[in-house]
Structure 1
Amino acid sequence: MHNERRLLLERRLRRVVEERLSPAVYPARRPVTVGIWNAGRRTPSFGDASEAPYTTIQPGQAWGEPWATSWLRLTGTMPTEWAGRRVELLVDVGFSAGRVGFQAEGLAYSSTGRTIKGLNPTSRWIPVDSGDPGAEVTVFVEAAANPTVLPLNDGVRDFRPTPLGDPATLPSTPLYQLRECHLALFDATAWKLARDMEVLSQLMQELGAQSERHWRIVSALERALDALDPIDIAGTAQHARDELAPLLSSPAHASAHRLSVVGHAHIDSAWLWPTSETVRKVARTTANVLQLMDASPDLVYAMSQAQQFAWMKEHYPQLFERIRERVRQGRFVPVGGMWVESDTNMPSGESLVRQLVFGKRFFMEEFGLETEEVWLPDSFGYSAALPQLIALSGSRWMLTQKISWNHTNRFPHHTFYWEGIDGTRVLTHAPPADKYNAEVTAAELAHAASNFAEQGQIGGSMLLYGHGDGGGGPTREMLARIRRLRDLEGSPRVESETPRAFFERTEAANDAAPVWVGEMYLEAHRGTYTSQARTKQGNRRSERLLREAEMWATSAAVLRGVDYPYDELDDIWKQVLLLQFHDILPGSSIAWVHQEAETTYDELATRLEQIIESSLSALSEDSGPMVPVDAVPFPASGGSPDPMSAAPEVSASVDRDGTFRLDNGLVRLHIDGSGHITSIRDLVAGRELVPHGTKVNVLTQYRDTPAQYDAWDIDPTYRTVAEAIDDVTSIEHWKGEGVAAVRTERAFGSSTVVQTVQVNAGQRRIDIEADVDWHESGKLLRVSLPLEISADRFAAETQFGHVYRPTHTNTSWDAAKFEICAHRWVHVAEPDYGVAVINESTYGHDVRRPSPGRVRATHTVVGLSLLRAPRFPDPGADQERHILRYAVVPGASIADAVWHACTFAQTDRTSRGEAALAPLVRSKTSGVVVDTIKLADDRSGDVVVRVYEALGRRARSELEIACDVSRVWVTDVLERPVAAQVELANQRATVDLTPFEVRTLRMTPAVRKLPS
């Protein structure tokens, strides 16, 4: 009986709201005249658009080729009888019900060019001044025909290949039809009644039939429906509200969970749209927010990514000034402190430092405030190096959300201290609502409260609300729900406040927060370590060249008085940092994004090479032989380069059975007729490294068809369908000066590969190159390197250090790490012997115990993921030629791995002089790495040096300085003093470092060279 009553109410309520109440919100409408000007794929200014020739368009007419822009000019006359009443302009350019930011969008302008607000499927209205009866109303709308490349419902996301992400494959037919453009009266009472009913009906559903409160709401809604005359909504809506008022004024329980609600619109700086469209998405969203703030004094909005603020300053200066005013009031809140919401797995340590430096400096310079939180709700896992860098940037907190996406294990905390590889702890919050684009529904609030892991320990959680990913932000409906849910019986308490207020209150109860140690590995999106190999190569190359450019430009400035290229380096860094956004560097964007990224990386490489060469020229002497440039400002360990007084000759030969032999006196390789390595003999240690019955450097192609997210995921079942690539088209050996190699050509599927295995005089390192012409679909190409090393864990380089990960699958947490991200090296070792595997631009690795079935497992298999072929969002991903390089270093310590990783991809450079050019500052201790040498950002001429301890031990190191300096002191990464001066004697500075500590030193030259 009770259930029947409730079901009857639900059906009755739904019908009244949909058929009577919602239409009554706009009881009268008047058509307007619509003109259209098609601008193509250009983005003209308002000034150009206002003067453009417009043609009339009627509802039902098609408009908008994919990614094209059309300007609409809407003109109408305000009816005399509407004077003094609330009037809005309703615009529907062809919206589909569903996701905001993934279809057509618009930005409305007044006739004078002032931005009014954005338009999207859930916000189709534009406020209009009705003060002058009979006045003409003119509004312009910049309408973007952004294609729908995602399903618009909230069910299973069926990501299928689409031609809409590549300018070369776009259709020319229009995507949308104009539906509606009207002036309309707005009935605020009817709208408020709809919000009352919405909140109470949602709460009724969440409370359930066992709750007394549930049935009180049922009764109140029944009375309200009885009081509402469907023929006279305007005359009876207030009576219905009166019936609901007592239910909406009943306060929450004293122990109700407290939710700090923050308006937000996580906007991907690129993803299913190019960065040029992101600029406009940010403008639409911020215009929406500013318009809502005018009418909603309780709205607090947080926006991250300094890059997006910078876009507003450059492209929408009028809008930026309005943002600046709301920032001053504390309502529009810059958060995050990073240039973009970066991926944190793949960028180098210095890149993460610069993300924080450029982001925080922008906010300080533009708004006079220092952000203290790192804001990364959607990045695909979180490096264990990050807590130290957060603290070194002067920040205190971190927010994330993506860790709730774990496929295998539920992350156990929502508010906790996160401890990094060096021991630094940062207070971290992951909102328990499990989303960063909430709509403030009763279901979301109930889930946040019941899901919160630290119940009874920490006094509340945060809820980020507003349409995100593609932008949109909060709506007035969301704000109305917040007002009704602020203190409502049966619901968590809801309070609008800034992230800072939440974190400061939470920090006061820090003794109760648990601790998570090490990386926050995301048990999802493992394919992002490999997708779009060209983008990843461009990133690694840019980081390497930036390091060199800054180092040599600093030497040229200090020793020769050459102008330091501050502005150019800043510009290059900002472009590299943008491309590290968490949907660009991971390879999960449309083709357009990655095509632009590849072009940008090539341009940046040219500019950086010019800086390097001009700096080296300034440093070179006028005469003398060409000598090598030594670009590694830290020493090799005992094994690198190898301890040989004279390098023996290399040899390459083949026996009558077709087995090739490469030998340089340090290592000896046997390679069979299929081009696979069957023996690696470390002649220094007297050890064989290839396990019996296995082969090294075997390429295997796996079926790679993830269940859901193509470019993002590698599913754990990928190994079930595998094909070793054994066929040989040709094989040959050759020997050059100090080099011996075997080259093997293969064909497989629609692709070809040339593998070259090479040994060099004087090195135990074995260099391998795979030149792949890749034309597969739904496949993963990996190389397998089984090594006779028994190890239950391995070391993998991360930013400013390394982490250990298991090679076994003892627990579900271990098994979930079947594909991991490593930087330039991984290292497997027994107590007295190790092997390093170095790579030039590969991030995806799998290091594991031997396959099941062996009686005794005494070896470890190192695998590198070289290429993928996902179909969404870029169906042509990686379908091109790739050159991928990696190396095996027998007998290597971790210190050797660090040294070889730096030298493996280093460009061989020469200068003219009697001695090799060396960096301005060098470490005298193996394992203490001088990572960065640059001039101070304040342009004082001081030298900034960043060093780190790479081995996970305590170390004292002398830094040798090639110029006279008057003082050296410790700073944070923003180059602000944080400690006393460093001991300085005989042009050497002594530093003491704890395990994996990063130290930034600032040095003042005793004599400053002035530019000529």
Structure 2
Amino acid sequence: MASQQYKGIVVSHTHWDRAWYWPFEQFRVRLVQTVDQVLDILDSDASYRSFTLDGQTVVLEDYLEVRPERRKDIERLVNARRLVIGPWYVLPDLFLVSPESLVRNLMLGMRSARQFGHVMREGYVPDPFGHIRQLPQILAGFGLRSFIFMRGMGENAEELGSEFWWRAPDGSTVLAVYQRDNYGNLACWGFPYEFGDYRYERPDPATAVGNVSKTFESIRAFARTPYLLFNNGIDHLPPQPEVPELIAHVNRTMPDLRLSHGTFSEFVDAVLQSSSAPSFRTYTGELTGNAHHLILLSVYSARMYLKTANAACQQLLERYAEPVAALAAAETKLDFTPFVWQAWRELLKNHPHDDICGCGVDEIHRDNVNRFERVRQTGEYVRDEGLQVLARHIDTAAQEGKPILLFNPLGWSRTECVELELLFAPDDPMRKEFTLFDAAGSPVPFAVTGIRPLYRMEILKEGRYEAVTVTALVTVPPAGYATLYVRPKKAKPVPSMVQASVRGMENDLLKVSMHPNGTVTVTDKGTRQVYRDLLLFEDTEDAGDEYTYSWAERSRTFTTRGSRPVITVTERSPLHAVITVTHTMKVPASLSPSRRERSAERTTVTIVSRLTLRAASRRLEVETTVTNRARDHRLRVHVPTGMSTDRSFAGGHFDVVERPHPSAKRPTMKNRFEYYATRHLNDFVSMHDAERGLTLATKGLPEYEVVSGPSGDVLALTLLRCVGQLSRNDYITRHMQAGPQLPTPEAQCLGTYTMECAVIPHAGSWADARSYRDALEFRTPVIGRNVPRMSGTLPAVLSVVTSGEKELVLSALKRTEDRTGYVVRFYNIGDASVRTTATVYRPLQRADRVTLNEEFAATVPLSSETQFVIEAGPKQVVTYKLTLKN
């Protein structure tokens, strides 16, 4: 290959972070100027073949809000394949968002690009901080054949090369194109710098040859074909109108390289058609290495308030608003779908990596918080109004009493304690003496836990209520609803199912023993395994920045081991108990001026943990509220497992990921290198050995580490990581700058924050115990709403869709984009193929297997009028379109 001529494809592009070291509106001014110039160049110079607008369509929305008159110009150039757009709506971080959000992102991006005329069919993801191992399956589900990336390659870079096959756990495969010298390897072409503003200068042809020659020598060593990818652009750079003449000059000067101006798709075409493509190496797994580019994994814990808010919004849309809107549309023809999509559009704008990762200036994250709030408002309205609309079609009048509608978004039946708020008129005597019954007329165990006045306004009509909070032990069918009835009858005493005192709590599954320092010992009554000293808090310095955690040269850690917190029983009923533990931790106020150690000045961090144990639950739920007054530190909670293993299992994206514990090799100030022992989790992390298992579930806390303790491995869950600068270059755990050295005082996270997790002991592995179900139930509670008595046609208890296969997880229930049916999506969380029959609540006209983009794949046989067959391979995501009979 050394003697042959290489063919280089120069792709002119810009990488557009909507907000990063400037806030959005300032970057938008530059965006409008840049797109203006792109359109003008493409219109005036036919030799300037094409420009790629960063693989995301949101930038066109941003542009057209200012320049609506240029839409026709954009459509003409997109149709001519000269302005290349899509497939994403935004370029997202891939770990810190849910798998369903990635699906919505590509759906919206491809829909938007099609409206302009054409979609780029390549999986362009140049700059996220690592890549999930199910991404090939997601990309393939949208008909995307390639994965073009920069970050994440590990020590196997030379073995794999810059072109290889990346295979998902289900077998889906895409062509991976590794941008060894980054996605801007020919940025500022013809200039003596890699970054900068060249708008008022002209490139030097000799320098341009030198730029190409340097990149050529570097990337051809990794190339597996004669085709090389040159990226003419980088963050926020405008187009270079001189590209055609620079290409011509290089072609006259370098006989062993022939450049052409083109697109990513032309490069992928050439690689796939090359004779060496069938012999490319294959890789399966996550891409979180840092062989040539920083991976920056501590973004999992920067500005933790963004992560928890995002998780809550995703749950709201995916698990409540979308399925309720779908069910309401099926029964009432009232379509909430546009509102759901508007909420998704806003939420996705928080998913670019500089946004959701928390690694920007303070202004952009204030915008994020506002967007999350707007998403919450829309999602809650659709959820609550949708349930009210649906309730008008349910026969709730067949039983005596005030109906309460319960909704379970998960795909299995649940019997658990839920918190309900029952609304009574202030003069209703039933508010003081009532009981609950289910739809079969059986009494429901409950306990009153609170009363408050409630005021509501609806179309200028005032409503005043007495809201009575109860804890009730209920059963709700899979992916459906059940109805309770409140009747004016004195309730019979409920046998105590949870006992509590300041010494601990106990139900039929767990015993929780309190220690004077606020830690707990949990005994699993089923296995008789004992988990000791859980919920120790650890505070250490953070000398790093928004991208990277670092200890200081003279590190100092504080814990609550010697603490004497205030321990009180704050709630107690026959069905649940809450013990509150209040720590007042004295910690250094910040780092010292030298940043080599923690300061001598002290301040307090208040930690209030509410430990909840419910009847019939094997979860110890922990809600921790931290009032943070310290800077430059990291706060974690420790959960000792009592096991010594070599790996952990973390909830992933349509997946559970097995990870070996990281290397013990650590950097020093004299030997700095990028170092992370922390890893990512979605929903939960779990460990097990031959005798016991332990799962730690969270609500949006995405960072954990396995550390060594006196009795084995400890799961350390990050609660807060507080820093004051976007990027630095003066600490141990990273050897180079990652971004602008700008102050970000709000990243110190001063103030009060609430985080939630749950401890779930069990026998065997997460798969044996199905502890992922406990984790999903923790994140996705059954909800209840007061609804009117109606004589509808729907039964009082209903399951929308159910499958008998325990390893199938229901991931989506929504209306199809063409409004002609309903989508149900499952993923097989197990390692074996499954074939089962799913049952739907209404007769089916047909069932079709469709792609993630809801395009037809195959007709599915119906087992009966209300049943269809589901087949899923190991780790496979399967999507079905259900068309109901009228």
User: TM class by shorter-chain length?
Assistant: 0.7 to 0.9
**Equivalences for residues 666-705 of structure 1 within 5 A:** 666-677=509-520, 679-690=521-532, 695-705=533-543
Q: 1:403·1:411 contact (CA, 8 Å) conserved in 2? A: no
User: Residue 808 of structure 1: CA displacement?
Assistant: 5.0
Answering whether residue 288 of structure 2 is matched by residue 496 of structure 1, we say no
| Residues 421-480 of structure 1, C-alpha deviations (whole Å, 9 max, x = no match) | 2221110112232342623344543443333376573222211112x32x2323245554
**Equivalences for residues 283-294 of structure 1 within 5 A:** 283-293=32-42, 294=44
Write 1 or 2 for the structure with the bigger share of strand.
2
User: Residue 617 of structure 1: CA displacement?
Assistant: 1.3
Q: What is the CA–CA distance in structure 1 between the aligned matches of 2:124 and 2:548, rounded to whole Å?
A: 23
Which of 584, 604, 619 is 1:747 aligned to?
584
Q: 1:628·1:917 contact (CA, 8 Å) conserved in 2? A: no
Q: 1:415·1:454 contact (CA, 8 Å) conserved in 2? A: no
Which of 2, 8, 31 is 1:282 aligned to?
31
**Equivalences for residues 810-821 of structure 1 within 5 A:** 818-821=677-680
Q: What is the CA–CA distance in structure 1 between the aligned matches of 2:223 and 2:231, rounded to whole Å?
A: 22
**Equivalences for residues 577-588 of structure 1 within 5 A:** 577-588=348-359
Q: What is the CA–CA distance in structure 2 between the aligned matches of 1:488 and 1:798, rounded to whole Å?
A: 50
User: Residue 370 of structure 1: CA displacement?
Assistant: 3.3
Distance 1:869 1:916, change over 3 A: farther
Q: 1:529·1:586 contact (CA, 8 Å) conserved in 2? A: yes
Distance 1:637 1:630, change over 3 A: closer
| Residues 220-274 of structure 1, C-alpha deviations (whole Å, 9 max, x = no match) | xxxxxxxxxxxxxxxxxxxxxxxxxxxxxxxx99624432111011010221233
Name which one, 1 or 2, has greater alpha-carbon Rg: 1
Q: What is the CA–CA distance in structure 1 between the aligned matches of 2:864 and 2:691, rounded to whole Å?
A: 37
Distance 1:597 1:676, change over 3 A: same
Q: What is the CA–CA distance in structure 1 between the aligned matches of 2:59 and 2:548, rounded to whole Å?
A: 28
**Equivalences for residues 212-611 of structure 1 within 5 A:** 255-293=4-42, 294-295=44-45, 297-303=47-53, 304-335=55-86, 337-367=87-117, 369-403=118-152, 413-436=161-184, 438-440=187-189, 441-452=208-219, 455=222, 457-466=224-233, 468-469=234-235, 471-476=236-241, 479-489=244-254, 492-509=257-274, 510-523=277-290, 524-547=295-318, 548-558=320-330, 560-611=331-382
Answering whether residue 718 of structure 2 is matched by residue 872 of structure 1, we say no
Equivalent residue letter for 2:583: R
Equivalent residue letter for 1:279: R
User: Residue 703 of structure 1: CA displacement?
Assistant: 1.4
The aligned residue for residue 183 of structure 1 is none
Q: 2:163·2:224 contact (CA, 8 Å) conserved in 1? A: no
Q: 2:48·2:243 contact (CA, 8 Å) conserved in 1? A: no
User: Residue 859 of structure 1: CA displacement?
Assistant: 3.1
Distance 1:380 1:561, change over 3 A: same
Q: What is the CA–CA distance in structure 1 between the aligned matches of 2:553 and 2:220, rounded to whole Å?
A: 33
The aligned residue for residue 632 of structure 1 is 409
* Percent identical: 20
The aligned residue for residue 859 of structure 1 is 712
Quick one: higher RCO (CA 8 Å, sep 6+), 1 or 2? 2
Q: What is the CA–CA distance in structure 1 between the aligned matches of 2:780 and 2:172, rounded to whole Å?
A: 32
Distance 1:415 1:995, change over 3 A: same
Q: What is the CA–CA distance in structure 1 between the aligned matches of 2:554 and 2:677, rounded to whole Å?
A: 11
Q: What is the CA–CA distance in structure 1 between the aligned matches of 2:173 and 2:305, rounded to whole Å?
A: 35
The aligned residue for residue 681 of structure 2 is 822
Q: What is the CA–CA distance in structure 2 between the aligned matches of 1:475 and 1:728, rounded to whole Å?
A: 65
The aligned residue for residue 653 of structure 1 is 501
Answering whether residue 853 of structure 2 is matched by residue 984 of structure 1, we say no
Q: Provide the secondary structure at the position in 1 that maps to 2:79.
A: helix
Distance 1:380 1:410, change over 3 A: farther
User: Residue 823 of structure 1: CA displacement?
Assistant: 0.6
Gaps of 5+ in 2: 190-207, 419-472, 476-493, 588-602, 668-672, 727-743
The aligned residue for residue 619 of structure 2 is 765
Q: What is the CA–CA distance in structure 1 between the aligned matches of 2:654 and 2:510, rounded to whole Å?
A: 30
The aligned residue for residue 44 of structure 1 is none
User: Residue 976 of structure 1: CA displacement?
Assistant: 1.1
Q: Quick check: 983-992 or 547-556, which moved more? A: 983-992
Q: What is the CA–CA distance in structure 2 between the aligned matches of 1:416 and 1:318, rounded to whole Å?
A: 43
Which of 965, 978, 994 is 2:873 aligned to?
994
Which of 569, 577, 591 is 1:733 aligned to?
569
The aligned residue for residue 614 of structure 1 is 385
Q: What is the CA–CA distance in structure 2 between the aligned matches of 1:394 and 1:495, rounded to whole Å?
A: 27
Q: Provide the secondary structure at the position in 1 that maps to 2:286.
A: coil
Q: 1:797·1:803 contact (CA, 8 Å) conserved in 2? A: yes
Q: Provide the secondary structure at the position in 2 that maps to 1:841.
A: coil
**Equivalences for residues 167-206 of structure 1 within 5 A:** none
TM-score of the superposition, structure 1-length normalised?
Answer: 0.68
| Residues 900-950 of structure 1, C-alpha deviations (whole Å, 9 max, x = no match) | 22221334422457976555222322121111111111122x111111112
User: Residue 720 of structure 1: CA displacement?
Assistant: 4.6
Q: 2:340·2:378 contact (CA, 8 Å) conserved in 1? A: no
User: Residue 584 of structure 1: CA displacement?
Assistant: 0.6
Q: 1:634·1:923 contact (CA, 8 Å) conserved in 2? A: yes
Q: 2:805·2:836 contact (CA, 8 Å) conserved in 1? A: yes
Q: 1:782·1:866 contact (CA, 8 Å) conserved in 2? A: yes
Q: Provide the secondary structure at the position in 1 that maps to 2:750.
A: coil
Distance 1:299 1:956, change over 3 A: same
Equivalent residue letter for 2:322: E
Q: Provide the secondary structure at the position in 2 that maps to 1:395.
A: coil
Which of 546, 559, 562 is 1:724 aligned to?
559
User: Residue 299 of structure 1: CA displacement?
Assistant: 4.0
Q: Provide the secondary structure at the position in 2 that maps to 1:933.
A: strand
| Residues 154-197 of structure 1, C-alpha deviations (whole Å, 9 max, x = no match) | xxxxxxxxxxxxxxxxxxxxxxxxxxxxxxxxxxxxxxxxxxxx
The aligned residue for residue 956 of structure 1 is 835
Q: 1:445·1:491 contact (CA, 8 Å) conserved in 2? A: no
Write 1 or 2 for the structure with the bigger share of helix.
1
Q: What is the CA–CA distance in structure 1 between the aligned matches of 2:380 and 2:609, rounded to whole Å?
A: 29
Distance 1:820 1:408, change over 3 A: farther
User: Residue 492 of structure 1: CA displacement?
Assistant: 3.8
Q: What is the CA–CA distance in structure 2 between the aligned matches of 1:934 and 1:958, rounded to whole Å?
A: 20
Q: Provide the secondary structure at the position in 2 that maps to 1:992.
A: strand
Q: 1:973·1:1000 contact (CA, 8 Å) conserved in 2? A: yes
**Equivalences for residues 825-844 of structure 1 within 5 A:** 825-831=684-690, 833-844=692-703
TM-align CA RMSD: 3.1
Equivalent residue letter for 1:313: L
Q: What is the CA–CA distance in structure 1 between the aligned matches of 2:553 and 2:310, rounded to whole Å?
A: 27
TM-score of the superposition, structure 2-length normalised?
Answer: 0.77
Number of residue equivalences: 729
| Residues 873-897 of structure 1, C-alpha deviations (whole Å, 9 max, x = no match) | 3211222211000001111633633
Q: 2:57·2:89 contact (CA, 8 Å) conserved in 1? A: yes
The aligned residue for residue 153 of structure 1 is none
Q: What is the CA–CA distance in structure 1 between the aligned matches of 2:554 and 2:225, rounded to whole Å?
A: 43
